[in-house]
Amino acid sequence: MQPLDFTGGRVFTDRGRFYTESLCPGKRIYGERLTATSGTEYREWDPRRSKLSAYLHCGGKEFPFRKDGKVLYLGASSGTTASHVADVCPDGRVFCVEFAQRMFRDLVGTCGTRPNMMPILGDATRPQEYSMFVESVDVVYQDVAQKRQADIVCDNMDAFGAEFGMVAVKARSEDVTASPESIFAAAEERIRERGFRITDARSIEPYEKSHEMIAFRRARA
Ligand SMILES: C[S@@+](CC[C@H](N)C(=O)[O-])C[C@H]1O[C@@H](n2cnc3c(N)ncnc32)[C@H](O)[C@@H]1O
Over the chain, what is the mean pLDDT?
Answer: 97
pTM score, two decimals? 0.97
CB atoms within 10 A of CB 132: 7
SS3 150: helix
CB atoms within 10 A of CB 79: 29
CB 160 within 8 A of CB 139: no
The model's pLDDT over 75-114, given as tens digits with 9 standing for 90+, comes to 999 999 999 999 999 999 999 999 999 999 999 999 999 9
pLDDT reading at 131 higher than 70: yes
Report CA(75)–ligand 1 centroid distance (Å): 3
116 pocket-lining for ligand 1 (C-beta < 6 Å): no
Instruction: Give the torsion sign (CA, 119, 125, 129, 131).
Output: positive
Residue 220 carries which DSSP code?
P
Residues near 56 by beta carbon (within 8 Å), at least 6 away in sequence:
4, 7, 11, 18, 45, 47, 63
Report CA(127)–ligand 1 centroid distance (Å): 15
- Residue 218 confidence class, pLDDT cut points 50, 70, 90: very high
Select from 46, 49, 77 the residue to mutate for testing ligand 1; criterion: most ligand atoms less than 8 Å from CB: 77
Taking the CA of residue 193 as centre, how many other CA atoms within 13 Å lie in the half-sphere pointing to its CB? Answer: 9
Determine the atom of ligand 1 nearest the C-alpha atom of 125.
19
CATH class of the domain defined by 2-44 = alpha beta
Supply the residue whose CA is at minimum distance from atom 17 of ligand 1.
144
The model's pLDDT over 140-198, given as tens digits with 9 standing for 90+, comes to 999 998 999 999 999 999 999 999 999 999 998 888 899 999 999 999 999 999 999 99
Q: Where are the domains of the chain?
A: 2-44, 51-218
148 pocket-lining for ligand 1 (C-beta < 6 Å): no
SS3 121: strand
CATH class of the domain defined by 51-218 = alpha beta
